[in-house]
Amino acid sequence: MPSFSVRCVFRWKPRADQRRKHLYEERITLWVANDIDEAIALAEKEAREYAADGDDYLGFCQAYALVESVEKSGVEVFSLLRQSDLEPKEYVDAFFATGEEHEGHAV
């Protein structure tokens, strides 16, 4: 079955040691799905559960069809935390949706 990586972006609850206004997380998980749309739906469902502790899933995700298949869905393979004074939309625009990305379905 096809496999996909999906990147989702979150804003964490404020922490005592935070130097900036917000703490964001970029998180990549792997999914076994019939197609990229199903992989995104599965990842977004998991993202809402992951953020249920009071963190915010920002509703932004990007997916990539893997060349090799994976055996299990929902495995986290990457996470990056970054502090920023940018508000969520400005943060996503600055780091993930600059307008210079080459996105879309392969032809």
pLDDT category at 106 given cuts 50, 70, 90 is low
Domain parsing of the chain, residue ranges: 3-95
pTM greater than the 0.85 cutoff: yes
Pick from 46, 52, 35: nearest CA to 8: 46
- What mean pLDDT comes out for the span 65-94? 96
**DSSP conformation class of 94:** H
- The residue behind tokens 């502790």 is 53
